[in-house]
Amino acid sequence: NADAAMALAKASGRNNFQFYTAAMNGAIRDKLALREGLRHAVARGEFHLVYQPQVAMTSGQVTGVEALIRWQHPERGLVSPTEFIPLAEETGLIVPIGEWVLRTACFQNRAWQDAGLPAFNVAVNVSARQFRERTWIEQVDRALDDSGLDPRFLELELTESLIMEDLEKALLSMRTLQAMGVQLSIDDFGTGYSSLSALKRFPISRLKIDQGFVRGIPGDEEDKAIAKAIISLGHELDLKVIAEGVETLQQLAFLRANGCDEIQGYLFSPPVTPAECATLVNARFAVAQGD
Ligand code: C2E
Ligand code: MG
Ligand code: MG
Ligand code: MG
């Protein structure tokens, strides 16, 4: 907090004051520069997508991939989406960036199918700001039309908070997307604040158990109870349940024993390039012991 830092700096003398303001100015300049860079990143072709396989618990086969954005910054190197997505949301730049992601993912999935790979879903993360755009549905429709991807192979990952921001309006958009044949899922499930009575109205096909709960398996009794409860809840509501952030065989065994439908995580594969992804989808992952 700037005021507190200044008060502290003043109290401890002039040199410190300069030190604190210099550090603060540096941080602010940094953020401004990053924001400025973000403005041109799409046009300069600095973004690319990586894809992380989602594996069916029963067959070990890849049923889908999640598209995750990467920014190759000319000076800084790879910048994490956890750093620049919030900036993109603040500035509204998430709208053109998000449309680029959506279109790239649709074209990529269609290209995989044209290359003769078995068909699977591509999941795209959607920001609240994007979802609220007046032209959002048109953007999805155009991405599907232009790429020629069958809508059932596109999945949009929404968050509880995005939906609960304006439940009735979100439900309208979700129903439109569902009618178009697009699949919807809830990302980071269990961390938001949607009520069960709202959840039952969501026209979705999948819940993604947040990786925070998966991380606690098998040591944390609460996390295990929550993961188990999400799986039962999902199944009662006729939804598929996928766990993200699965890193260990113990986590896999627990999720398998509790009927989780799909697995995504470093245990099977980190997010990879389209070419690497094409080889992974032909593989069969060892989901059961003795496989
Ligand atoms: P998310 O959608 O929940 O994506 C899952 C994140 O977990 C990804 O981080 C992924 O690389 C990471 N991950 C996957 N498996 C494991 C694992 O086994 N262990 C651990 N520790 N992590 C794992 P990433 O790619 O850094 O993305 C972070 C977040 O940034 C995403 O969380 C999503 O909220 C956002 N994001 C990424 N790409 C996009 C995008 O194209 N659009 C929007 N709006 N948001 C995006
Ligand atoms: Mg996601
Ligand atoms: Mg997530
Ligand atoms: Mg997320």
Pocket test for ligand 1, best of 87, 103, 108, 125 (most atoms within 8 A of CB): 125
For β-strands 77-79 and 47-56, DSSP reports them as: unpaired
Question: Distances from the Cα of 185 to the Cαs of 154, 178, 181, in angstroms?
Answer: 11, 11, 13
Per-residue pLDDT of the chain (291 residues; tens, 9 = 90+): 555 555 555 555 555 556 667 777 788 888 888 888 999 998 899 999 999 999 999 999 999 999 999 999 999 999 999 999 999 999 999 999 999 999 999 999 999 999 999 999 999 999 999 999 999 999 999 999 999 999 999 999 999 999 999 999 999 999 999 999 999 999 999 998 888 899 999 999 999 999 999 999 999 999 999 999 999 999 999 999 999 999 999 999 999 999 999 999 999 999 999 999 999 998 888 887 644
Judge if the beta carbon of residue 125 lies within 6 A of ligand 1: yes
Does any ligand 1 atom lie closer than 6 A to the CB of residue 188?
yes
| Ligand 1 near 265 CB (within 6 A) | yes
Ligand 1 pocket, residue 105 CB under 6 Å? no
Which residue's alpha carbon is at the smallest distance from atom 22 of ligand 1?
A: 245
The whole-model pTM stands at 0.92
Does the C-beta of 101 come closer than 6 Å to ligand 1? yes
Tell me, in angstroms, the distance from the centre of ligand 4 to residue 187's CA. Answer: 6
77, 92, 87: which is closest to 28 by C-alpha?
A: 87
Q: How far apart are CA 285 and CA 62, in angstroms?
A: 8
Q: Which atom of ligand 1 is nearest to the CA of 50?
A: 25
Which residue's alpha carbon is nearest to atom 43 within ligand 1?
A: 125
- Whether the link from the prior residue into 218 is cis, omega within 30° of 0, is yes
CA 87–ligand 4 middle distance (angstroms): 15
Give, in order, the Cα–Cα distances in Å from 91 to each of 36, 38, 97, 130, 162.
10, 10, 11, 12, 17
Following CA atoms 100, 98, 159, 270 in sequence, which dihedral angle do they give, to the nearest 10 degrees? 50
Ligand 2 center from residue 187 Cα (angstroms):
5
In order, the DSSP letters of 144-178 are HHHHT--GGGEEEEEEHHHHHHTHHHHHHHHHHHH
Whether ipTM tops 0.90, in short, is yes
- Give the number of whichever ligand sits closest to the CA of residue 102: 1
- Ligand 1 pocket residue status of 261, Cβ below 6 Å: no
